[in-house]
């Protein structure tokens, strides 16, 4: 039965059918083939229980925040401030690209949103300064991975809802890995800047630090307010999402980039994206319940014990599985399908749920800049008008850096858990 369902999955995906519909349909067929059709009557209730999670309410609110900030004009303010900080170095605009992604990550929580917002601004600017189109696109795509790791993070909210793990703890756990990603990418950009003689240096005209900081301050205060409110117990993650959306809309009028049409577009795009994610949750709930009835998670646990894969060896295996899944699957779908199967065994072996969540989210996010799917690569390829596979090759050195960071946080859990423990969230 499993082989037949997998073959049907491959054929339907090749045909171009949406993944949520394919997984949902095959899940229902699986109930019939496995003799569990009597449980189908309870399936709607099961699906509703998967969606009826308070922390999931934060997800559309943070999506709305990102949409509002993308249209508000704050991107230019963050870029100018980044330029005043790191633009004077060799390969300055590459550093600015990465720094702007770090700042923007504290607002949007979405890699694809960051890639779209910053790519339209920075890729043309880098081209004009003398960077190749491929390199400008590669840096932008690679830096977008920082978005879902530095809080707030949409996929961490999703993981927290699935595993009943503290979203605030996950947010705090992503701070150090996100900064490590930024530092590693900057080191890579500095290497290529000197090797390929990229423009930039002390002679370049720079925005003044004071005025650029003053203009960027309202946008920079947004993540401080969100995280500070959660850390000190003033607001829940869901309330923080609502507060962020209100502040983002207000900032739009401060930066004079928001109007009623853009506000309407932000709500429309949020509804579309949120609806698609909840469709994924619905389809995955169907397949996940079938897996539970067939005792697949227990089977995985037994197989792991028989093979002697405990501790770090099992964690490395999970890393490989999720890294491969991120290359071909939507991040929400991969989380919903794979986390209930592999995460309980890791936690039973003593892995901290927050440490595990950050690792899994980084694995899947790296998949956004790796073939054959690579959603961020596709977005940047369209913006830069660059061949997808050429862009993918140019991005590979930066992907290698991101995998090195992934290995580091896997072997050294304190890199993830230091801040949550400091804040009393782990």
Residue 301: the pLDDT is 66
How many whole angstroms separate alpha carbon 83 and alpha carbon 93?
A: 7
* Cα–Cα dist 85/93, whole Å: 11
Backbone angles phi, psi at 132, to 5 degrees: -70, 155
- Determine the pLDDT at residue 336: 80
What span, in angstroms and rounded, lies between the C-alpha atoms of 143 and 266? 24
CA proximity to 323, closest of 359, 285, 272: 359
Spatial separation of the C-alpha atoms in residues 245 and 321, rounded to whole Å: 35
**Residue 170 pLDDT:** 92
* pLDDT score of 9: 62
Is 354:165 a contact under the CB 8 Å cutoff? yes
Helix residue ranges, H only, 73-201: 74-86, 92-108, 111-129, 133-143, 154-163, 167-173, 175-195
Long-range contacts of 401-405, Cβ-Cβ distance < 8 Å, separation of 24 or more: 401/142, 401/181, 401/184, 401/185, 401/187, 401/188, 402/142, 402/145, 402/181, 402/184, 402/185, 402/362, 402/366, 402/369, 403/323, 403/366, 404/184, 405/177, 405/180, 405/181, 405/184, 405/362
Q: Which two tokens stand for residue 330?
A: 């939507």
- The alpha carbon dihedral of 184, 189, 190, 195 has a sign of positive
Residues 21, 283, 330, CA angle at the centre, nearest 5°? Answer: 75
Predicted confidence at residue 358, as pLDDT, reads 95
If we measure between CA atoms, which residue out of 116, 81, 113 comes closest to residue 95?
Answer: 81
Low-confidence ranges of the chain (pLDDT < 70): 1-19, 55, 106-109, 201-205, 296-298, 300-301, 304-305, 426
Q: What is the distance between the alpha carbons of residues 108 and 146, in angstroms, rounded to a whole number?
A: 11
How many whole angstroms separate alpha carbon 62 and alpha carbon 240? 9
pTM of the predicted model, to two decimals?
A: 0.81
- Whether a cis peptide bond, with omega within 30° of 0, leads into 249 is no
């Amino acid at each position: 039965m499993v082989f037949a369902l997998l073959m049907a999955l491959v054929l339907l995906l090749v045909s171009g059918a949406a993944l949520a519909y394919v997984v949902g349909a095959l899940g229902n067929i699986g109930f019939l083939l496995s003799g569990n059709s009597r449980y189908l009557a309870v399936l709607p209730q099961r699906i509703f229980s998967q969606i009826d999670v308070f922390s999931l309410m934060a997800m559309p609110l943070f999506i709305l925040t990102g949409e509002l900030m993308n249209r508000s004009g704050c991107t230019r303010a963050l870029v100018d401030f980044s330029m005043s900080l790191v633009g004077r170095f060799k390969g300055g605009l590459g550093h600015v690209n990465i720094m702007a992604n770090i700042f923007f990550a504290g607002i949007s929580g979405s890699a694809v949103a960051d890639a779209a917002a910053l790519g339209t601004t920075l890729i043309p600017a880098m081209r004009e300064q003398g960077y190749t189109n491929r390199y400008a696109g590669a840096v932008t795509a690679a830096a977008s991975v920082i978005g879902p790791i530095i809080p707030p993070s949409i996929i961490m909210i999703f993981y927290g809802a699935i595993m009943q793990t503290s979203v605030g703890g996950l947010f705090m756990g992503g701070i150090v890995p996100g900064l490590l990603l930024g530092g590693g990418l900057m080191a890579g950009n500095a290497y290529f800047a000197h090797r390929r003689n990229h423009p930039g240096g002390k002679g370049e005209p720079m925005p003044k630090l004071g005025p650029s900081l003053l203009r960027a301050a309202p946008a920079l205060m947004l993540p401080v307010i969100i995280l500070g409110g959660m850390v000190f117990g003033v607001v829940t993650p869901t309330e923080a999402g609502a507060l962020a959306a209100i502040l983002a809309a207000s900032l739009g009028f401060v930066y004079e980039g928001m109007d009623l049409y853009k506000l309407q577009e932000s709500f429309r795009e949020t509804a579309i994206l949120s609806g698609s994610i909840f469709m994924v949750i619905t389809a995955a709930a169907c397949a996940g319940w079938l897996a539970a009835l067939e005792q697949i998670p227990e089977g995985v646990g037994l197989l792991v014990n028989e093979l002697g894969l405990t501790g770090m060896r099992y964690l490395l295996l999970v890393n490989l599985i999720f890294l491969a899944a991120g290359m071909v699957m939507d991040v929400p779908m991969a989380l919903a399908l794979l986390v209930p199967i592999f995460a309980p065994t890791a936690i039973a072996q003593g892995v901290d749920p927050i440490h595990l969540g950050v690792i899994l989210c980084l694995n899947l996010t790296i998949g956004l800049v790796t073939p054959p799917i690579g959603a961020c690569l596709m977005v940047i390829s369209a913006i830069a008008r660059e061949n997808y596979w050429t862009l993918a090759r140019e991005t590979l050195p930066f992907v290698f850096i991101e995998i090195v960071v992934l290995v580091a946080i896997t072997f050294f859990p304190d890199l993830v858990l230091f801040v949550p423990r400091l804040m009393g969230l782990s």
